[in-house]
Amino acid sequence: MIIQAATTSNFGSFPICPTTRHQSQSRKIIPLNLVSSQKGQEFTSVSHKGDKMCECFDLHKELVPYRDAWNWQKVIVREKTGLIERNEECPDTLIVLQHQPVYTMGTGSSIEYLNFDIKNAPFEVYRTERGGEVTYHGPGQLTMYPIINLRNHKMDLHWYLRELEEVVIRVLSSTFSIKASRIEGLTGVWVGDQKLAAIGIKVSQWIAYHGLALNVTTDLAPFNLIVPCGIRNRKVGSIKGLLEESCSNAKAHHFDYSQLIDITSQSLIREFSEVFQLKIQQRSLEFLVKKPESL
């Protein structure tokens, strides 16, 4: 189970037979000390008729260093904890981004699932407070970090995990006509024996953070250097890989794979809004990067 808890304290359907190869996407690497110079326009997008608000930082075109996103989450959790202690309204937050290549491990995960010497790792390795075993984050993978006040929804960790899975299942079905499912006893989203989305969370005083990672156009080779999520007998897959498999003998529908990240990000935010009954308010990058100053 990928949980580490401390409870005391219709998007258009995607053409399913693309035939052109993936083209490099334009991505910016944004170290924390440089981000504050970037300007962003703050605007509100109507995503759901519900009256509960969720601020959204849509950074899906960016390659964000893992430590920066981790710091952002911890500061936001601290802010929300303060609001709750003062009996003030505590809305939800959503961050969507891509990471520079990195391996992350849960608080109790084992180095036996690393197929390399941790002193000579191919990428940075972080042990975090989330639950679960080792996983990989990198370009082409959309990582979604909801910082959710479960008091606004349902104070049930298993319910929350299933709802995160539901978001991804809906994205794959409505946008790509891919039928995904859960596997009993395992956390995440699967298509056959391929795991497309990994989920790992931390919950403290009923505020959940960390979240899910969905492989879109991800280079899957770095997963070969670990045992993803500690599961040895199953594969890791991607949306791009499944679309290529389904169209291996087809010649219709030309599509540029570089659009996959944009399409998937929009669908993730929309389905997140629907599943959690939230009205999404887009926030600027500048608004977010001011938060770590209080660390």
Instruction: Check 54, 56, 90, 229 and give the catalytic one.
Output: 229
pLDDT, mean over the chain? 83
Q: Is the pLDDT of residue 263 over 60?
A: yes
Q: Which residues contact 68 (CB under 8 A, 6 or more apart)?
A: 30, 31, 32, 35, 292
CATH number for 52-290 (one of 3.40.605.10, 3.40.50.1000, 3.30.1330.10, 3.30.930.10): it is: 3.30.930.10
- The C-alpha atoms of residue 145 and residue 164 are separated, in whole angstroms, by 11
User: Could you give the CA distance from residue 123 to residue 8 in angstroms, rounded to a whole number?
Assistant: 35
pLDDT, tens digit (0-9, with 9 covering 90-100), for 7-16: 333 334 444 4
Q: pLDDT confidence of 247, banded at 50, 70, 90? A: confident
pLDDT of residue 287: 74
Task: Find the mean pLDDT for residues 200-220.
Answer: 97
**Predicted pLDDT at 255:** 57
**What are the residues facing 155 on neighbouring strands?**
none
Parse the chain into domains and list their residue ranges.
Answer: 52-290
The predicted structure's pLDDT at residue 24: 37
Residue 20: what pLDDT?
Answer: 36
> Mapping DSSP to helix (H, G, I), strand (E, B) and coil, where does residue 104 land?
strand
Return the residue matching tokens 């005083």.
Answer: 205
Question: Do residues 239 and 217 make contact, with C-beta atoms less than 8 angstroms apart?
Answer: yes
Tens-place pLDDT, residues 67-77: 999 999 999 99
For the question of residue 17 being annotated catalytic, the response is: no
Give start and end residues of each alpha helix (H) in 49-148: 66-85
Q: What is the pLDDT of residue 11?
A: 35
Encode pLDDT of 146-162 as tens digits: 999 999 999 999 999 99
What's the pTM? 0.83
